[in-house]
Amino acid sequence: MKSIPLHKLRENEEAVILQVIGGEGRLEGMGIRSGAYIRCLYRSPLNDPTAYDVDGTVIALRRTDCADILVQPVMEAAAAGADEKESCCRRTGLDRLLTHPVTAFPVMLLLLLGIFWITIRGANYPSAVLSSLLFSLEQPLYDLMRTDLELPVFFCEMMACGMYRVLAWVIAVILPPMAIFFPLFALLEEWGLLPRIAFNMDRCFRCCGACGKQALTLCMGFGCNASAVVECRIMESRQQQLLAMITNSLIPCNGRFPILICIITMFFSTDGHGGVPALLLTGVILIGVAAAFLLNKILSLTVLKGAESSFVLELPPYCRPQFGKVILRSILERTLLVLGRAVVVAAPAGMVIYLLANIPAGDVSLLTAAAQLLEPAGHVIGMDGVILLAFLIGMPANEIVLPAMMMIYMKQGMLTEVTDLGFFRQLLLDNGWTSLTAFNVLLFSLMHWPCATTLLTVRKESGSWKWTLAAAAAPLILGVIFCGITTAVYCKIQETGVIY
């Protein structure tokens, strides 16, 4: 029988591998070698890549990789152990659900939404308790330094109301969500679901010059962008790793969700209906995903242009996770690691914020003077100097962006928690906010520099300050362009009299 490329093998058809043209050493470890039997199991929802059974192991390959593998179809009865392989690697009902063209993407979306819901709902109470506990220690810390140690008032306030307050804020806000999200993510990985997501999404990412495995790092980014950068190690090539690192910050992490939810609630859902903000939040997230695809495409055609990487992924069998082991490993290797890096950045940032807010520069503080300096740049993209400065202050941790806005607008000397959205909305309106301002803040929340923890992680993983700068500049440039476009369109519509 005549030999054919592997990708021409029909579903459930078996063949013997005759030749692997190039890359045999890379594939040999997965059993793809001359003389081995291989069976086509099923194709992804978008028809590429395809899952194959090789000696009881399910491996996903792109059509371009399969073209270099020559096979000879054989009768099932002639293949050694055919019945045994079929029983080991048959397509289960769950596989049909997760990889079927009709059900695959809705099921993946529901899984992601389910993780969001569990994370957000589950983190509310622990965050409140942790926040109450940590902030209850602020005054005793101040009293200890001022009364017992007799340190200067300015120094005590800087340490207690500056450094410690920001530190407590960051820990209370990011620890509970991460302690829930990362174990859930790890359980899905251990169960065998996450590789199927990469399998389903590969063709989408390939169109943008990326790899399906980047779907996993983007999903991880919803929990923490810094942790997602570490996960970029799963990419096979340096080019794909850098693409994933640079574009990951376009996915909103748990530190940016409070910003998005507050702005949407205050300006786009004043009627109190819960379905509207949920739909708007979903839309904003989809904008971030689309921006990630766009930036992937731009980078893959310019500074990260290179040969298309292959896609070889083992699809492990579904198995019941070892819950205790997986959760413990996730907390130790992901949650505490990211929290430690955030603490290292947030502590000195708290002192700097306090100094800027309390050191005078003429008739105003350094913070107000900096906001005035950024005012022209802010107006160009439909915002103001206070907003830009708040995002700069929030570089150590996005959780403090909204409190920083309130502090600067009210000309206070320390950060204050945003508790009354009605008061905060009126404060923003009194300082010139419009629907354009609110919408551009949503866009800029998605598309600006990553937090300092993520940038430090990019530096460590890439080993280069050049790519760290690129990871900061690329999303920012995209954000400035998008906000500039919306501002220009808004002003043009306003000239016509449609918007007052």
Residue 13 within a domain: yes
Looking at residue 80, which CATH number applies to its domain? 2.30.30.90
The answer to whether position 198 is within a domain reads no
Let me know if residue 223 belongs to a domain. no
Note every long-range contact of 23-29, with CB atoms under 8 Å and residues 24 or more positions apart, other chains counting: 23/65, 23/68, 23/310, 26/312, 27/69, 27/312
Which of 126, 100, 270 lies closest to 200 in space, CA to CA? 100
Q: Is residue 378 part of a domain?
A: no
Residue 92: predicted pLDDT: 64
Domain assignment of residue 62, yes or no: yes
Residue 83 covered by a domain: yes
The number of folded domains in the chain is 1
pLDDT number for residue 91: 55
* Side-chain-facing half-sphere of 404: CA atoms under 13 Å: 30
Does residue 385 form part of some domain?
no
Contact 98, 104 (CB under 8 A): yes
Record the tokens describing residue 304, joined without a space. 């990260």
Q: Show the domain range for 16.
A: 4-91
pLDDT (0 to 100) of residue 488: 92
Question: Which single residue is written with the structure tokens 């476009």?
Answer: 485
Burial class (CB in 10 A: 0-12, 13-18, 19+), 287: middle
Q: What are the pLDDT tens digits along the chain (500 aa)?
A: 578 888 888 888 899 988 887 655 667 777 788 888 899 988 899 888 999 998 888 899 988 888 888 888 886 434 444 444 444 455 567 788 888 888 888 988 888 888 878 887 888 888 889 888 988 998 999 999 988 888 999 899 999 988 898 888 888 888 888 888 888 888 888 888 888 888 999 988 988 888 888 988 998 888 889 889 998 988 888 899 999 999 999 999 878 888 888 898 888 875 555 556 777 888 888 899 999 999 999 999 998 887 667 788 888 888 888 888 888 888 877 778 778 877 888 888 888 888 988 888 888 889 999 999 999 999 999 999 999 999 998 888 888 888 889 889 988 888 877 777 888 899 999 999 999 999 999 999 999 999 988 999 999 999 999 999 999 999 999 999 999 999 999 988 887 766 54
Q: What is the structure's pLDDT at 474? A: 95
Q: What is the pLDDT of residue 77?
A: 36
The reply to whether 75 falls in a domain is yes
This prediction's pTM? 0.84
Distance CA 479, CA 441 (A): 10
Nearest Cα residue to 73 out of 156, 173, 4 = 4
Q: What is the C-alpha separation between 263 and 438, in angstroms, rounded? A: 6
